[in-house]
Structure 1
Amino acid sequence: MDEEQRTRHHHGGRPWTRGGPPWAHGGPPWVRYRQEWWDGTRLPWRSTLVLAVFVMVGSGFAARNQPGREPVDALARVLLLAGPALLLLRRKYPVPVVFGVSALALGYLLAGYPYGPVLATVAVGVFSAVVTGHRYAAWGAVGMLWAGHLLVGHWLYEYLPPAGDRAVAWGQELASAMFVVAVLALAELARVRKEQWAKERAERAAAQQRRTDEERLRIARELHDVLAHSISVINVQAGVGLTLLDSDPEQARTALTTIKAASKEALGEVRQVLDTLRTPGDAPRAPAPGLDQLPELVQQAAGTGLTVEVTTEGRKAALPPGADLAAFRIVQEALTNVVRHSGSRTARVRIGYATGRLDLRIDDDGPATGTHEGGAGRGLVGMRERAAALGGTIEADTLPDGGFRVHAELPIEPKETP
C-alpha cells in the first residue's frame, strides 16, 4: 500500500493530503471561526451587513410612527450607515468604536431624527467593548450618550429640531434605562463566558503539556535505566575480553557471549519503549519487567564479576504493575551504580514486604572508585522520580564503613499470591 493509499485508508477513502483535513490542526471550522471572532482576525461582514439593513429599514418604519420627528433624509442615512461601518472594526478597536457609534447616535438624536434602531449600533458597540475587557470605556460611552440624551430631551429640545418638540416623558427615560442595563448585563455575561473559555483552553493546554512532560520523563527514565545497565555490563565484559583475549581465549569468548546477550536484551527493551511512541495506546508486545525477573538481573551482574545476595522478608505478594516496574528499575539502577562506581564485588539486595508498603535496600561494601564511566549522574534522579511518582521515597548515602546504601519505600496495595 503506497502513501496515497494509506492516507485514503486512514481517512475512510477520502484523499486528504498529508496532515489530515484542512482543519486538522486548528479544530473544526466552527471552533476556529469562533476563535477568530474573539481574536479580531476576521472582519464581521455578515453580522454588520444584517445590522445595517435592519437600522436602515427599521428607521424608515420608526419615522412613520413618529410623525413629530424629522424625516429620514440623506444626512440621516449617512449617520445611520456610519455606525455599522465603524462596527466593522469593533473587534480590533473596541474603545474608539464604542465612543464613535455613541457620538453618531447622539448626533442623530440632536438632529431631531426618530428614535429606534439607531440605538442598536450602540448596543453592539457596547457589547463588543465589554466582551473584550473594556467595560469602563463602554460604561463611559453609554454615560456620555445618556447625559446627552437627558440634556436634549429635557432642556435643549426647545432650541433643536424638530420644531414644537416637547420634553421626553420620564417613563420613556425609565424604559431606556432598562434597555441600557439589559445590554450591559448581557455583555458582562458574554465577557464572563469568554474568560471561562480562555481559562478552559489554558487548562487543557497545560494538562496536555503536563502529560507530554510526564511521558517524556517516563521514556527518558526507561531508556536511561535500560541503556545504563546494559552498557555497563557490556563495558565491563569488553574490558575483560580485551584483557584475556591472548592469555585466556575461552574466558574472552565467555565475555563476548555476555556482551551479545546484554546487547540483545537492551535492543529488545529499547524497541519496546520506541513501539509505545509509534503506536500510542496499544498494548506493549512484551510485559514490563518486574521483580520476577530479578534472577536474570543477578545473573547479568554476575557476568561483570559482581556477586548479588538477594533476601526476602515478609510474605511475598503480587505487586501492581507500576510498583513492580519501579522496584525492578530501582534495583537495576542501584546494581548498575555498584558496577560503575564501587570497588566492591558484592552487593546485597533486601526486599521487604509489609502491609501497603514495599521496602527495598541495596548495599555494597565500597569503596567508591571515583569513576563515572561516561555517566551523566541521572541514576539517582531517575530513582527518586520513580519513587515520587508512586508517592514513595528514596534515600541514598554512604555507609560508615565506606560502602553505599540505596533505601526505597514504595506504597503499594498488594494482592496476595495464591
Structure 2
Amino acid sequence: MPPTPSSRAWWGGSRAWWGGVWSTVVVPLLVAGFTLGGTQWSDRYGQPAARPVDALAVVLLLAGPALLVVRRARPGLVLGLVAAVLITYLALGYPVGPVFVASLFALAEAVSAGRRVVAYTVTAVTFTAAVSAYALTHPTTAIPLSAIGGWTASLVAFVAGCELRRSRRERLEQAREARREAERRRAGEERLEMARELHDALGHHLSLINVQAGVALYLMDDDPEQARRALATIKKSSRELLREMRATLGVLRGVDEPSREPVAGLARLDALVVENGQAGLPVTVHTHGSPRDLPAGVDLAAYRIVQEALTNTRRHAAADSATVLLGYDDEGLTIEVTDDGTASSAPGGGNGLPGMRERAAALGGTFTAGPGPEGGFRVRAHLPTAREEATP
C-alpha cells in the first residue's frame, strides 16, 4: 500500500523530532562522556606530570559539550565559547585527552552554517593558543615539529571534510529547490490548461443554452414543436457541460478516475457544427489536404480554437454564417474560422482570444485574429505537428 499524505507527514515529523533530539541531547551527552572518560584515562596512565583532574577540570570538560546543545542556533558564538573553555583548560595544566572533540563539533557546525570567517579565525587562534598553553605548562616536554605538523594536517583535513559536507548539502538543497520550482511550474501550467478548458466549455455550452432558451420562450405558444426541440438541445448541451465540468474538476481534485468519454477533438467537429446550426449560426466546413490523425494535444487545441471562435461569433459578431477551413500539410494543421458579421467577434477584456493564442503558442504555433479580407472577422492558427510526430 502506498504511503498516504498523513503517513508521510507523520513520518517526516517523527524524523524531524528524532533529528532534533539527536542533535541537542544525544550528541552532547556522547561527547561529554567520551571527553570526560578519555581525559581521566589519560590522567591516570599517560601524563603523571599533569595537574590532577579535579572539580574545576570536570566543569571545564563538561562545559564544552554542554554548549553544543545550542550550536545550531548560534554556531559562531558557540565555537568561540568552546574554544575559550578549551584554552582555559589547557592553560591550567590539566592532562591532554580528547578535550578537542567539542571544539571539532562546534567547528563543523560553524562551517556548515556558512560562518567561514569566524570558523577559520577562531580555529587558527585556538590552535595557536592551545599549542602555546601546552608548551608553557609543560616546559620540560618539548613538542616535536612533526607532531605539530601532523596536528595541522589533521585539522586541515577535518576542515576540508566540513567544506565538502557543506557543499554537498547546498547542492542537495539546490536540487530540491529546483524540483519544487519545476513542480510549481508544472502545477501552474496544469491550472492554466484547466482554466482554458473550463472557459471554452462554459462559454460554448452556456451560449447555446442562452440562445435555445430564447428560442423556446419565443416559440412556446406559436410553434410548440420547435420550442420542444430547443428545450431538448438545452438538455443535451447542459448534460455535456456537466460532464466536462465533472471531468475537469475531478482532475483538479485528483480523486476521479480518467473519463471514459471521448476526448474533445476534431472528431467531434460535426457535432459542434450541428449545435451551432441549431443555435442559429450555420457553419460550413472545408478541408484542404489529406486529413490524418493528429497528436492528442494538437487535436484538442484545434477543436477548442474552432469551438471558441464560433462561440465568439455567435455572441459578438451578429453574423449570418461562419466558415471553418482545415488545412493539412506536412508541417501541421492550419485553422481558419471566418464569419460575415458586421461587428467584431473579439470581446474587449475577455479571455477567448488570449486563450486561443496560448493554446497555439504552447504547441509552438502561431495565432492571429482580426478583420477578414472580405469583411467580418477571421481567426487563424497554425499548429505544427512535424516535431511531435517525429518523436518516437
Code of the residue aligned with 1:67 in structure 2: it is P
Indicate conservation of the 8 Å contact 2:72/2:109, yes or no: yes
Q: What percentage of residue pairs aligned between the two structures are identical? A: 43
CA contact 1:340–1:371 (8 Å) conserved in 2: no
- Equivalent of residue 61 in structure 1, options 8, 33, 41: 41
Could you tell me whether the CA contact under 8 Å between 2:344 and 2:377 is conserved in 1? no
- Please tell me whether residue 386 in structure 1 is matched to residue 359 in structure 2: yes
How many Å separate the matches in 2 of 1:73 and 1:25? 47
Query: d(CA) in 2 for partners of 1:281 and 1:242?
Result: 38
- The residue type paired with residue 144 of structure 1 is V
The reply to whether residue 234 of structure 1 matches residue 215 of structure 2 is no
Q: Take 1:271 and 1:379, find their aligned partners in 2: how far apart are those partners?
A: 22
SS of equivalent to 1:44: helix
Q: Tell me if 1:276 matches 2:228.
A: no
Q: 1:196 to 1:11 in 2, by over 3 A?
A: closer
For residue 87 of structure 1, report the CA deviation from its aligned partner: 0.6
Aligned partners of 2:367, 2:345: CA distance in 1, in Å?
22
User: Which of the residues 111, 114, 118 maps onto 2:99?
Assistant: 118
Q: CA deviation at 1:223?
A: 1.1
Q: Tell me the residue number matched to 1:412.
A: 385
Say if 2:32 is the partner of 1:46: no
* 2:12 corresponds to 1:27: yes
Equivalence map 1:205-224=2 (5 Å) = 205-224=180-199
CA contact (8 A) 1:313 1:351 kept: yes
Q: Of residues 68, 73, 84 in structure 2, which corresponds to 1:92?
A: 73
Contact persistence 1:153–1:167 (CA under 8 A): no
Superposed CA offset, 1:144-178 (max 9, x none): 20231344355xx1xxx35x534422222111111
Measured in 2, the distance between the counterparts of 1:370 and 1:316 equals 28
Q: How much has 1:283 moved relative to structure 2?
A: 3.2
Check 1:142–1:371 CA distance in 2 against 1; reply closer, same or farther (3 A cut).
closer
CA distance in 1, matches of 2:325, 2:98: 84
Match of 2:342 among 357, 367, 371: 367
- Mind listing any 5+ residue stretches in structure 2 that lack a counterpart? none
The structure with more helix, counted as a fraction of residues: 2
Q: 1:355 to 1:281 in 2, by over 3 A?
A: farther
Q: How does 1:299-310 map to 2 (within 5 A)?
A: 299-310=274-285
SS of equivalent to 1:229: helix
Provide the rounded CA distance (Å) in 1 between the counterparts of 2:194 and 2:160.
51
Equivalent position SS for 2:9? coil
Q: Partners in 1 of 2:133 and 2:151 — Cα distance?
A: 14
| Alignment-derived partner of residue 7 in structure 1 | none
Counterpart of 2:119 in structure 1: which amino acid?
A: A
Please give the residue correspondences for 1:349-368 in structure 2 after superposition, counting only pairs within 5 Å.
349-368=324-343
Equivalents in 1 of 2:346, 2:295: separation in Å? Answer: 36
Shift of 1:346: 1.1
The answer to whether 1:334 aligns with 2:319 is: no
Is the 2:365–2:383 Cα contact (8 Å) retained in structure 1? yes
Distance 1:11 1:143, change over 3 A: closer
Task: Give the alignment partner of residue 130 of structure 1, picking from 101, 111, 128.
Answer: 111
Alignment RMSD: 2.6
Structure 2 partner of 1:149? 130
Compute the displacement of 1:25 (Å): 6.1
Task: Answer whether contact 1:229 1:333 (CA < 8 A) is retained.
Answer: yes
Number of residue-to-residue matches in the alignment? 388
Distance 2:190 2:175 in 1: 22
8 Å CA contact 2:344–2:376 kept in 1: the answer is no
| Residue 239 of structure 1, CA deviation | 2.1
Corresponding residue number in structure 2 for 1:6 = none
1:315 lines up with 2:295 in the alignment: no
| 2:271 equivalent to 1:296 | yes
Give the CA deviation at 1:78: 0.9
Cα 1:137/1:81, change in 2 over 3 Å: same
Judge conservation of contact 2:324–2:336 (CA < 8 Å) in 1.
yes
Is 1:325 matched with 2:282?
Answer: no
What is the CA–CA distance in structure 2 between the aligned matches of 1:42 and 1:226, rounded to whole Å? 56
- 2:261 aligned residue (257, 267, 286): 286
Deviation at 1:11, TM superposition (A): 8.1
Tell which deviates more after alignment, 208-217 or 223-232: 208-217
Distance 1:26 1:344, change over 3 A: farther
Residue 242 of structure 2: which of 264, 267, 277 is its match?
Answer: 267
Higher mean Cα deviation, 363-372 or 53-62?
Answer: 363-372
> Which of 362, 368, 372 does residue 395 from structure 1 map onto?
368
1:57 Cα offset (Å): 0.7
2:378 partner amino acid: R
CA distance in 1 between counterparts of 2:133 and 2:245 reads 82
